[in-house]
Each structure stands twice: as C-alpha cells, then as structure tokens.
Structure 1
Amino acid sequence: MERISNYQLAVTIMLFEIGSTPLFALGSGAKQDSWLAMLFAAATGLLLLFMFLYIQRTAPEECLIGLLKLCFGTKIGTGIGILFALYFAYESMRNLRDFGEITNLTLLSSTPQYVTMLIIVLLATYAVAMGIETFSRVNEALLPLIFVSYGALILLILISGILHRDNLLPILDNGLGPVIKAAFPDILSFPFGQMVLFFMIWHLLSEKQKIKRISIISYLSVAAFLILMNILNLMALGTTLVANSTLPFLQAVQLIQVGDILERLDVMVTLLLFLGLFVKMTAFYWGAVYACTRLSRSTSRRLWIFYVGFIIFITSFIEPNYTYHVWLGLNVSVKFFPVFQVVIPLLMFFVVLFRKHRRSETPSNV
C-alpha cells in the first residue's frame, strides 16, 4: 500500500483547497459582505472537518469505501460508494471543462478545445497511474511556485494603489440574510465541503496520530488565504465589477501598474489557474479510480484508470457551452453536492456515535 508523509498531506490539502478558488467571485450575492460569507462557510467547513476526522479515527486504516461499509453494511455501503465514485468523477469532469474553456479564452484561442482537454486528461491519467505518492511529490514541487506567485501578485496589488477600503463598506448593510444565503450551500460546497475527498487519502498517512493536527492547520491556512483573496478582489474592483466578472482576480491583476514597468501580468494568473485546476482535477480523478478499485477488486486498477478517464473526457462535452457549464455548476450542482459532503457524513457520524454509546452501555447491563 502507498504511503504519504505528513508534509505531503499538508501540501495536498492546501493546493487542493486553493485550486482555482481565489480567481472566482464566490459569494458575490452578498456584495461587499462576500468575505463574511466566505468566513461563515469556512467556519462551518471546519466543523465538517472535525466530524470527518472523528469518523476516520474510528477506523484509521479504512478509506471512505470501507467506512461506508462499516457504517451502513456491505450492500448499502457499496451502493453509496458507487455514488461517491460518480461524484468524484463528476467533479473532475467539471475541472477539466473549466481548464479547456479558460485555455481557449486566454491562451490558445485557435487550438481546438478538445485537443487541449485531451492533453490534460492524458497528463492526469499518467499522474493517477503513478499513484498518490507520486502525485503528492508533484504537489510538493508546485507549492513553492504557487506560493511565490500569489505572494508576488498580492504584494504588487498592495503597492499599486488600486485598493479602496470603501468597497468593503457598509458592513452588513442588508443584515445577515444575504450573507447566509451566499454562504450556504454554495461556498460551503465549493471549496470547503470538498474536503470529503480526503476520506480516500487519510488512511494512507504514515503517522496517523498526526492526521487531525495537520489537516486542521492546513485547512485554516487555506481558509484565511481564500478570505484574504476575496477581500482583495472586492477592494480592487468593487461589488459590481466582481459580480459581473468571470475571473475577478485576473481583472484585478490587469489593473496593476508599478512605475510603468510591471503590468500585464495576466500570464502569471493564468498559470496559477491552470495549476490549481490540474491539481483538483487529478485529485478527484484519483479518488474516483481508487473508489472503483476498492468497490470492485476483480477489475484491475489500470482498467479503471482508463474507464474513468474516458468517462471524464467524454462527459465534459455534454454541456453545450461555457455559460451553461458555469450556470449548472453554481446554481444546480452545488445544491446537490452537500448530500455527499454533509448529509451522508452526518449519517455516518450518528452511526458511529450510536455504536459508541451502545458499547459504553454494554458492561453496565451485564
């Protein structure tokens, strides 16, 4: 069985949660309070993470599929496990379509979209075939590049004079209603609820006693970063531009002018977007393949890599255009994702608590 180190787990959590999230306008329905919506969703996501870790601690050597079977029995657990495999594959497909569309919009407008997406699927397939340990080492190599790039862009935004604190005011002008509506389920579902994928990874950590501390510290670091990015977008563009922009961070970076020398840093933003999408897409792809191999031990892993990759690639063309793709993701899919991110884990949590309570009562009844 493959194993990953503590540092590799931390890096993978951070890059997975960051993904392409900082580049999009999350919580724009709350206008100047969108950063509060992010904060509320992150706090709720932290509670979810505590629940996930509690469930994982009951069977440290089991992945999500094994935990589902332990909680609900073999037949029901297998059925729910199949649904999770489909969910992971669907999430991977969405990231692949994002990759293809944004590549076509920003860099390779003359290249057929299916060519770009095929290349990305093949790269992700290779990464999945190499295993989670190799994928984690790739994330280790990417972290410094992503960290330095975001740090440089944030510094340039701060010194370029494009930030306006008035864009954050007045706070809670319309009360908590719009903030809660923006936070739940949309922002909770994307990106914080996606931590459910790590049920497939935690059991591979070599030092399991440190899972909780590493996961929580990594999660809090990413949550703080995402809230900061949301605030920067608001201060730079204002609520109207953020709400109407496809990629507000890209638009904010386009405003940077430092001494008439540093400007037009679009390429750096595009690179960050591509790296984030690739990490998240590959992680979900691996999760879907791993779930399938655990559900069907009679089929080889290599075949599942091919089957899942083929399905991800083919289904990514079902949506007729990018506008529909974004609408479906932000208005429909995020309403159903909490079934996998909240409802089913909550049922598992109650089952674990019930069984623990019964075991604690058994000696007194003897």
Structure 2
Amino acid sequence: MKDKTVISSKQLFAMIILFEFGTSLVLPTGLQAEQGAWLSLLIALPAGIVLYLIFDYLYRQYPTMILSQYIRKIVGAYVGWPLSLLYISFFIYCGSRNLREAGDLLITTSYDMTPIFYIHLTMIIGVIYVLRKGLEVLFRLGEIYLIITLCLGLFSHIMILISGLVDYKNLLPINAGGWKAILHAAFPFTFSFPFAEVITFTTVLPHMKNAKLAKKAGIAAMAFSGIMLSYTHAIEIAVLGPDIYGRAVFPLLTMIGIVNIAEFIQRLDAMVILTLIIGVFFKMTVYAYAAISVASDIFRIDEKRKMAYPIGIIILFISMMSAWSFPEHGEEGNLSELFIQPLFNTYLPILIFIIVVIRKWIDRYRMNGV
C-alpha cells in the first residue's frame, strides 16, 4: 500500500460512531418488534461486534491490504476481481441511499420548494471536496463533529426530559409482538442496518497508526453507538408511543417537534436536521471512500483522489433514480436489508474468513506433520 495516510485509534473511534449514527438516529428501526424496537438493537449489537472482529482478524492477517486486495489473494483473481467490482457497486448504492434519505428529510422539513437535485448536489459537492483533501482530513473532522453531535444530543435529551413528554408505560409490554418478532427485527434488519455496514472500514484499517488498537477502538465505538441508538429509540417510543413511532417517517423529528417548555423553548427541529446532515455526510463520505479505494485498486489508479469526482457524480445520479418517492425508497430498503446487504456485509466476509481459517489449519497440520 503506497498511501502514507495515517489515522489514530481516537479518530477511528469517532468515525465509527458517526458512521453508525448516520441515518439510524432519525429513521425508525425494528418496526417488526413494535415497542420492543429498541431491544432489537441491543440484541443485534453483539453480532455486529463479532462481525467487526472478523474484519479485524482479516486485517491482521493482511495488514497492508484493503478488502479487494485480500479477496483476490484468498480466492484468486478470476473470482476476486469481479467480486471486488460488485463491492464498488454496493458501496456506491449504499452511499446513494444515505444521500436520498437526507434529501427527503430536508424537503419534508424546511426546503419543500427546493428541487431535491440541488439539495443532493450541495451535499455531494461537500463530500467530493473532503475526499479530494484526503482521508486524514476526513477523520480529523470526525473528531470535531462527534463532539458537536453528542452536545446536540445531550441538549435535546435534557429538553425532552424537562418538557415531561416521556411516558415509560409506552415501552410496555416490551415483547408485545412476541420474542420471535423482536428476533426477526434484530436479524436481519437492525443487524444489517447499521451494524453490519462497518465492512466499509476494511478500506480504512490499513491506514491505522497502531494496528493493535484497531480492535479496541472498533469494539468500544460499536458498543457505545449501539447503546446510544437503542436508548434514543426507546425515548422516541416512550414519547410518541409505538403506534406513532411506527407510522412516523422521521420519529426523532416528530418527537423533538412537540417539545414546548413554557411556550418559550420550542421548534427544536433544526437540531435534528443538523444531526442528520452531520451523520449522513460522514457515512456517505466513508461509503464513497470505500468505493474509491476498491476502484483505484482493481483499475490500478495510483492517485485515488482523482476518483472522487466520478464516484461522487455516480452517487448523485443514483440517489435521484433509485426511487420515485420516499415510501418506494423505504420498500426498496427493506428488500436491501433482506437480500443485498446480508450478502455483501455478512455472508461473503464470513465465507472469506472461513477459507482463511481453514487454510491456516491445513498449513499448521502440514508443518506439524513434517
């Protein structure tokens, strides 16, 4: 790997949290579990951490290689090259979905007279600009914006508690739909979105300053983000009730919109919008960077930053063409979480992991045999 970019464990920790937050803070999740949606996040979290440990194991076996490089080394170029090409398409598709969700929220709340194309264009220009500056700039920004995001969240939470809107009875019974429904919501839905999406960091880990800290930073970040996401959705259900939570397009926005303290503190929607913009920006940028890294590798492009323009433009136009409306976008997302994301985020990496482990066992057996 010729790129001399170096990132620290703190920067990795911050970026994984921002990535996991993404649109997960704003969009409803685990609807199959009804008021137990927050619990499905906690159940899926350990599986997400195990998947990250698989990525960390592969990273330690091939510390200078990104995902596409060790795929070709493990399964061969004839299988690995087209598989890597599919991963480029997958990363671009996921990035475009995040862009579409941000655009729809902004149109719903504040920019209803603005064509969605111009909102998407504005955001993708920012993504391209940061990618042109390099990975280190992106991760330094992540450290700053994580603090901003946490401060916004803390202030919003305090306002909600002061307003007296929280009714914990709305969380009962926890297993209203049955434990089977909660498990079904956890796997594959909340597991695929957002936990399994950390596969994008397989293109980032080779840039770690201290490889030994990648495991601790990743586990800590996933645990923190998973607990915070679960708590946030639990508060949303407690305030709105499971019925409104399930029907709301953006339940966090709906919840914060009804905060009214002494007819003075109200209309805090801007805080949710800012949180979403921050989360989507970083998540979409990481997806774009993953696509750029894999594309630069398989097409042998030395200067990765040149790929920011074509990848960014493709993400922009796919975000416009993927669905005609947000409900259609949501239905497409459910299908993606059932079939597309598990294949690329989970099944293929686990298969590669199994191949590596079996080969190591065979090599060890042969050495002992000799």
TM-score by length of 2: 0.95
How do 1:199-238 residues align onto structure 2 when only pairs under 5 Å count?
Answer: 199-238=202-241
* Alpha-carbon distance between aligned partners in 2 of 1:292 and 1:82, rounded to the nearest angstrom: 7
Corresponding residue of 2:325: 321
1:61-140 equivalences in 2 (<5 Å): 61-140=64-143
1:88, distance to aligned residue in structure 2 (A): 0.5
Inter-partner Cα distance in structure 1 for 2:250 and 2:303: 40
The alignment status of 1:157 with 2:160, answered yes or no, reads yes
Report matched runs for 1:291-330 at 5 Å: 291-298=294-301, 300-318=303-321, 319-330=323-334
Distance 1:197 1:314 in 2: 21
Identity of aligned residues (%): 27
The equivalent position to 1:264 in structure 2, one of 267, 270, 279, is: 267
Q: Distance in 2 between matches of 1:277 and 1:330?
A: 19
Deviations 1:267-288 (A, max 9, x none): 1111111111111111101111
SS at match of 2:212: helix
Q: Tell me how far 1:334 sits from its aligned partner.
A: 4.4
In 1, are the aligned partners of 2:34 and 2:176 still within 8 Å (CA)? no
How far apart are residue 364 of structure 1 and its match?
2.2
1:317 alignment partner, SS class: helix
Within 1, Cα distance between the matches of 2:197 and 2:236? 23
Q: Structure 2 counterpart of 1:337, which letter?
A: Q
Alpha-carbon distance between aligned partners in 2 of 1:174 and 1:286, rounded to the nearest angstrom: 40
TM-score (norm 1): 0.96
In structure 2, the partner of 1:54 is 57
- Alignment of 1:247 with 2:250, yes or no, is yes
Counterparts of 1:171 and 1:23, CA distance in 2: 21
Deviations 1:68-89 (A, max 9, x none): 1122112211111111111110
CA distance in 1, matches of 2:185, 2:154: 27
Q: Does the 8 Å CA contact 1:85/1:292 hold for their aligned counterparts?
A: yes
Give the count of matched residue pairs: 366
How far apart are the structure 1 equivalents of 2:219 and 2:78?
A: 33
State the partner residue of 1:29.
32
Unaligned runs of 5+ in 1: none
**Aligned partners of 2:301 and 2:148: how far apart in 1?**
41
C-alpha distance in 1 between matches for 2:334 and 2:135: 29
CA contact 2:92–2:315 (8 Å) conserved in 1:
yes
What amino acid is aligned across from residue 355 of structure 1 in structure 2? Answer: R
Give the corresponding residue for 1:17.
Answer: 20
Distance 1:333 1:35 in 2: 18
Unaligned residue ranges in structure 2 (runs of 5+): none
| Helix, strand or coil at the partner of 2:111 | coil
- The C-alpha deviation readout for 1:41-72, integer Å capped at 9, x for no partner, is 11211121122212221111111111211221
| Other-structure match for 1:147 | 150
RMSD in angstroms over aligned alpha carbons?
Answer: 1.4
Query: Cα 1:254–1:339, aligned 2, differ >3 Å: closer, same or farther?
Result: same
* Pairwise CA distance, 1:174: 3.8
SS in 1 for 2:265: coil
Which residue number corresponds to residue 354 of structure 2?
350
Could you report, residue by residue, the CA deviation over 1:159-187 in whole angstroms, capped at 9, with x for unpaired residues?
A: 22111111111122443111111111111
Aligned to 1:331: 335
Deviates more, 1:19-28 or 1:193-202: 19-28
CA distance in 1, matches of 2:337, 2:35: 25
2:201 counterpart residue number: 198
Partner Cα distance (2:103, 2:26) in 1: 16
Partners of 1:298 and 1:30 in 2: CA distance? 46
Q: Which runs of 4+ in 1 moved over 4 A?
A: none
Per the TM alignment, residue 143 of structure 1 is displaced from its structure 2 partner at its CA by 1.4
1:30 Cα shift? 0.8
Tell me by how many angstroms 1:96 deviates.
1.3
Say which SS state the counterpart of residue 110 (structure 1) adopts. coil
| Distance (whole Å) between structure 2 residues aligned to residue 234 and residue 7 of structure 1 | 32
In structure 2, what is the equivalent of residue 7 of structure 1? 10
The amino acid that maps onto 1:98 is E
| 8 Å contact kept, 1:186–1:335 | no
Shift of 1:363: 2.1
Q: Which amino acid aligns with 1:187?
A: T
Secondary structure in 2 matching 1:330:
helix
In structure 2, give the amino acid aligned to 1:327.
E
The aligned counterpart of 2:43 is: 40
